[in-house]
Amino acid sequence: MREALADDLRAALQAADFTHDRVVEVLGTTAQAGLARNETTPGLRATRGGSRLETLIRLWLLQTVITREAADLALPGLVDRLVNAGFLIQSVGEVAARIDIRPYAADDLDLWVASDLTPGLDGAPNLVSPDFVLGVSSASTSLAQMTIRDQVGTALDLGTGCGVQSLHLAAHAQHVVATDVNPRALRLARFNAQLNEVDIDVRDGSYFEPVVDEAFDLIVTNPPFVISPATGERLVYRDSGLPGDRVVEHIVSASPAHLNPGGIAQVLANWMILKDRPWAERVGEWVSGCDAFVVQREVVDLPTYVELWLKDAGLHGAPDYHDRYDTWLSWFDDQGVEAVGFGWINLRRNDTEPTLRFDDWPYEVEQPIGAELAAQLRRLRPVDLTGQRLTTRSDVLQETIGPVGAEDPSQIVIRQQRGMRRARQVSTAEAALVGACDGDLSIDQIQSALEDLGVGRVADEVVDALVADGFLVNEETS
């Protein structure tokens, strides 16, 4: 059902110039940074002018009580309707926000996103209700930046929350399905779709249940992946209700059945690292019928992990804080867990001979990284290099290190400036081979020339690795 409210609100937000760039301009970098630390005072000082834009910033981003008069000026004819819809609350002569609405800009999109209010501003307790609907978080942004933005027919956003991934997907997928189990999230996702004038097919249900017989070209998900003992207590935006990392296992193993041939699934995930097993072996067991490129971006020790999520739930300092902390760590002990891995699981359906690659890569990468992940998935297939005329990727630079004044460097490193920003220490022969790959000569011709010059041949495995890591490319792998 279309809500006229969303259409009318959009018109008011446009009229007030409530865009990402204007908000950043009004707040300035210091107040903006303060807000990122949940501090509103610098923002309040920057928004004293009384313009409609400043009123909206105070109402939503700074969660200030504003006068009814100011609210009516900024949102003409909308205040009562927003109160009735539960977006605002009013008392005599004053109005405050119950739902956050803020501009969001990414991928050349200028959007607005409605979600629950940011908890814990200015040191207030960080308490959230079990059906809290998260706004655009750092995890949402990570997933949005890793998403492969090729044009596709159908896309699924599993666990849509406020619908932020779907808003992105709508720009490059003909049909977007968004699912969630939280009725408040479903309502906000529908509202946000309408507010931003995009069609999203929002469906109620757990995991793949709402799409049981359907397959997609692209699945993206930032699931409720927090690894905890599953005590029954649950913040639905982060806890799946399943023990350990079963939620990720379930999504990864169920995805292939919901992918069209060649379709891609991208999952932001946490996984348990067990004491006696390499993480990749465990995560690899969940993958079937797909090529996989899995990147472990971070490894977190258990106390840090437990503290992070207890604080996120507003439980730091609670009377039972120690008990909860201790119980969680004991549960990790019982499971044989040593640490928690955070990372990206990228799958591409391949019914023939899937190739899996697992990287530990905690270093900075280019953002958005989606296009590089697509290229990396293409590069998983072994390439027959016979007769191939490869090119050195244009962003690869050589660094040489050695004693001052020495004629020859003691180390040569080739480093990508873009994509995963991989670096590799190479021999003189390897550097010469990479330098010679300009698309004119085949690899075999370059190898013969290196032999003739007395530099020596580069091992085939090294050439394969240079191709697999994207230092050397052809049309298919770039």
Residues near ligand SAM, by CB under 6 A: 134, 137, 140, 143, 158-161, 164-165, 179-182, 185, 206-207, 222-224, 236-238, 240
Q: Which is nearer to ligand SAM, 134 or 396 (CB)?
A: 134
CB 327, CB 229: distance < 8 Å = yes
Q: How far is the CB of 251 from ligand SAM (least distance, A)?
A: 9
Q: Which is nearer to ligand SAM, 101 or 437 (CB)?
A: 101
Query: CA 396 to CA 469: how far, in whole Å?
Result: 11
CA end-to-end distance (rounded Å), the chain: 44
Q: Which is nearer to ligand SAM, 226 or 414 (CB)?
A: 226
CB 396, CB 471: distance < 8 Å = yes
CB 239, CB 194: distance < 8 Å = no
**3-class SS of residue 48:** coil
Q: Which is nearer to ligand SAM, 235 or 337 (CB)?
A: 235
Q: Which is nearer to ligand SAM, 64 or 145 (CB)?
A: 145
Query: CA 298 to CA 21: how far, in whole Å?
Result: 31
Q: How far is the CB of 255 from ligand SAM (least distance, A)?
A: 13
Query: CA 412 to CA 400: how far, in whole Å?
Result: 5
Q: How far is the CB of 303 from ligand SAM (least distance, A)?
A: 22
What the block records as the tokens of 194 is 């309408």
Q: Which is nearer to ligand SAM, 344 or 471 (CB)?
A: 344
Report in angstroms the alpha-carbon separations of 101 from 75, 214, 336, 457: 13, 33, 43, 61
Q: In what order do the strands lie in the sheet with 411-416?
A: 396-401, 411-416, 423-426
Q: How far is the CB of 173 from ligand SAM (least distance, A)?
A: 15
Q: How far is the CB of 157 from ligand SAM (least distance, A)?
A: 6
Helix or strand run (H / E) with residue 154: strand 152-158
In sequence order, the β-bridge partners of residue 69 are none
Q: How far is the CB of 379 from ligand SAM (least distance, A)?
A: 27
